[in-house]
Amino acid sequence: MSSFRRNILQGVNFASAGSGILRETGQHRFKEVVSLGKQIQQFAIVEGNLTEVMGPEATAAMLSKCLFLLSVGSNDLLDYSQSKSSKLPNDVYMKTLQATYHDHLKDIKSACCGGGTLNGQVPCAHFLNSTLCLNRDEYLFWDMYHPTEHASKLAALTLYGGGTSLVKPVNLSQLVAASS
């Protein structure tokens, strides 16, 4: 049995930077984006590998207990917001974000790492002379594309235990409790 097939029992990540729900999302910014449809095909291949290693019943039992996290759509929105067809003015969008994160983050306009105006014009990975901010827990954005770890933690806590004004119809902890 190959080490790949043994290691897939530890977990699999199909993430692709810049991808989205739409097949064309990210294609103009990045050269090789794996679309959601292709990621689903990759999952089917892994499921087949698991079935070969464990058998169909054990695979079905294991997958029924797995947590599948899909985080898609933000790049679709980013591509839309950068297009000329965006309808919400940037100042209105920023004020909405600022009001939402005001209690947790001090700087929602500039990125912690990157280049250009507000560190938001060049991604951190492409900016060779970038410096790492020491207070990155105060920022919403790491660079022009990515949230900071702290912002991601706030989002995860909201998904896990947020009220119905933020997470509908149930939050993740309620979903897990209901399936136990």
In this structure, the number of other CB atoms found within 10 A of the CB of residue 176 comes to 12
Residue 9 has pLDDT above 70, yes or no: yes
Q: What backbone torsions phi and psi does residue 120 show, to the nearest 5 degrees? A: -115, 15
In Å, how far are 20, 78, 95 from 88, measured between CA atoms? Answer: 21, 13, 11
What is the mean pLDDT of the segment spanning 104-125? 79
pLDDT higher than threshold 70 for residue 5? no
- pLDDT tens profile 15-31: 777 777 766 777 666 66
Confidence of residue 85 (pLDDT cuts 50, 70, 90): very low
Q: Answer for the pair 148, 136: CB distance below 8 angstroms, yes or no.
A: yes
115-173 confidence digits (pLDDT tens): 788 888 877 766 566 667 888 888 888 887 788 888 888 888 888 898 887 788 888 88
- Tokens 């499921």 -> residue: 47
DSSP annotation of 82 reads: T
User: Greater confidence, 8 or 6?
Assistant: 8
Positive or negative, the CA dihedral 52, 54, 57, 61 is negative
Q: What is the DSSP letter of 126?
A: G
CB contact at 8 A, 153 and 138:
no
Taking the CA atoms of 92, 89, 151 and 110 in sequence, report the sign of the dihedral they define. Answer: negative
pTM for this entry: 0.52
Count of residues for the chain?
180
Looking at residue 141, what is its pLDDT?
82
- pLDDT beyond 60 at 86: no
Residue 99 has pLDDT above 90, yes or no: no
Backbone conformation region of residue 25, classed left if phi is above 0, alpha if psi is from -120 to 50, else beta = beta
CA distance 175 to 180: 9
As a whole number of angstroms, the distance between CA 121 and CA 127 comes to 10
Rounded CA separation 178/180 (Å)? 6
